[in-house]
Amino acid sequence: MLEYIFVFFVAILVGAINGVAGGASVISYPVLLATGMPPVTAAITNALGVTPANFFALISVRHQMRAFLREYRQLITISIAGSIIGAVLLLSVPPRVFEMIVPFLLLFASFSFLIRPKPDRGRHQRLVEKITIGASGFYCGYFGPGQGVIVIAALARDAARDPKTLNTIKNVIVGWTSIISNIIYVFSGRAQWSFVIALALGASIGGGVGGLWAGRISPAFYRALIITVGFGASLWLFHRYYLA
């Protein structure tokens, strides 16, 4: 019982950070591993549990949703297509392969946020943006934690987008992408539903709070939060799978 309570409170923190910036499911993933779950089961349970945070974070900007969906429907579609491929692959590869790849995936997500935004808004940038968003969708389906970091890194290359706009677009893309991959996970039979519920309840509360905070934080703090969470979790996973 205590482990469910602990996961619930961790999920509140995860939801709040995801609502503000993204990438915080890298915190809940190792917590689930610590309960004794196999890595693939933990990844699926984590993905199902933290998804509500993205939607609850959108409550404060719900009146803008139609405009965002119209403007970014192409990126959402590309991301969803990638997530379907990633989810199918996750359920097909041996768990040990997954364990060895995950630290590198998370490290890549963290490094991607160090890319400085450029004011160029030409055709080349849009192509790179679409490719990166598609890759983030694949990453979402195959692993999940840190997708928000990749999405923000791609979108932030357009310097005209402020942190609040970036965060809203990220939540829209990640939220809809996660729904599709989650449908595949539900039918996989590998989810630990008691932990999914604990995560979902906590992440929903935290996501709502984080969405309200998103427009009030400085860009510098925003980037520092993402980088700290991403690198910290990737180092932990390298220690777990390569050094332990």
State the average pLDDT for the chain: 81
**What's the pLDDT at 29?**
84
Q: Which residue has the higher pLDDT, 183 or 61?
A: 183
C-alpha to C-alpha distance for 24 and 67, rounded to whole angstroms: 27
Q: Is 120's pLDDT higher than 60?
A: no
CA-to-CA separations, 1 to 39, 85, 157, 166, 190, in angstroms, rounded: 21, 36, 45, 38, 21
Q: How confident is the model at residue 80 (pLDDT cuts 50, 70, 90)?
A: very high
Model pLDDT, residue 74: 92
> What is the pLDDT at residue 119?
53
Q: 159 near 191, Cβ under 8 Å?
A: no
Using one digit for the tens of pLDDT, what is the confidence trace for 147-197?
Answer: 777 787 778 776 667 777 777 788 788 888 988 899 999 998 899 999 999
Residue 88, pLDDT score: 93
Condensed to tens digits (0 to 9), the pLDDT of residues 30-40 reads 889 889 898 88
The Cα–Cα gap between 39 and 132 comes to: 25
Using alpha carbons, select from 14, 237, 54 the residue that is nearest to residue 152: 54
Percent of the chain with pLDDT over 70: 80
Question: Would you state the pLDDT for residue 23?
Answer: 67
Average pLDDT over residues 113-120: 59
For residues 42-54, give the mean pLDDT.
86
137 within 8 A of 82, measured Cβ to Cβ: yes
In angstroms, the first-to-last Cα distance of the chain is 28
* pTM (predicted TM-score): 0.79
Q: Is the pLDDT of residue 242 over 90?
A: no
